[in-house]
Amino acid sequence: MEMADFLTPDRVLLDVRARDKAQLIAEIARNFAHSVPSAEAGAVEGALLAREELGSTGLGGGFALPHAQIEDLEGYLGLFLRLAKPIDFRAVDGNPVGVVFALLTPAQLAVSHVSVLATISRRFRDSGLVEKLHEVKSPGDAYTLLIEGYSTAQVG
């Protein structure tokens, strides 16, 4: 599965302001609900918070991958956020998080979502990509980087 299968240009947000992890997760839930009405904000927020209680999805290097399974979702949904100012996310390396990719997966899927999480995680371990994502000026440029990779994208 490719990132373009679950990320759309309208779900790429730059310079999002959040004072803490809880406010960021509420913002993520609102944005999913805005772009996909079947993703009810309260249910999404609750599912993401419940997942965070199991352990932080802050994977290190300033990156977090909050994710949750949602009942009656028709497919995978991704949301990319670059924060205006990094926040404490209780990441594994203790560093604040400034780049976030949120993923919602259908609860009823028989196929594991682990491979999709691994694909996203590998992409964000690329320090060159993360550096470019911090530099882009528009959501469209960020989307191009995420979908095509920084070596082929025209960023300016």
128: domain CATH number is 3.40.930.10
Q: Is 153 helix (H, G, I), strand (E, B) or coil?
A: coil
**What's the domain count of the chain?**
1
Distance CA 86, CA 37 (A): 29
Residues with a known catalytic role:
67
Flag whether 24 is in a domain. Answer: yes
DSSP 107: T
Sort residue 60 into left (φ over 0), alpha (ψ -120 to 50) or beta: left
Q: What's the confidence (pLDDT) of residue 71?
A: 86
Mean local confidence (pLDDT), 85-104: 95
- Per-residue pLDDT of 1-55, as tens digits, reads 788 889 999 999 999 999 999 999 999 999 999 988 888 999 999 999 999 999 9
pTM of this structure: 0.90
